[in-house]
Amino acid sequence: MRTMRVMDTSRGDKPIQWNEKDPKTWVEAALVFDAVKAAGGQVFRAQPSGEGGGVVSKFDPQADMIATPRIQGG
């Protein structure tokens, strides 16, 4: 199972899980990924070791990810 943790200022975070070997289970995660990107947010590859991470520009069903909303200074 893979997970994308979606950060939200009002709720903390929401984990979305899918089976990387079953494309039917990717649907919700891919839609959320696209919505975060469309709203100006960023998605990062989450690596337990901290190495090999970075910004993800296209949904990757083989990766664990962290999605953050658009951040604005004030």
**pLDDT, tens digit, for every residue of 27-43?**
999 999 999 999 999 99
Domain at 15, CATH number: 3.10.20
Greatest Cα pair distance, the chain, in angstroms, is 43
Q: Is the pLDDT of residue 51 over 80?
A: no
Q: What pLDDT is stored for residue 53 in this prediction?
A: 77
- Contacts (Cβ under 8 Å, ≥6 apart) of 38: none
The number of distinct structural domains making up the chain is: 1
Residue 66 has pLDDT above 90, yes or no: yes
Question: Is there a domain that residue 74 lies in?
Answer: no
Question: What's the pTM value of the predicted model, to 2 decimals?
Answer: 0.86
Please indicate, yes or no, if residue 28 is contained in any of the structural domains. Answer: yes
**In the structure, what pLDDT confidence band is assigned to residue 50 with cuts at 50, 70 and 90?**
low
Q: Is the pLDDT of residue 52 over 80?
A: no
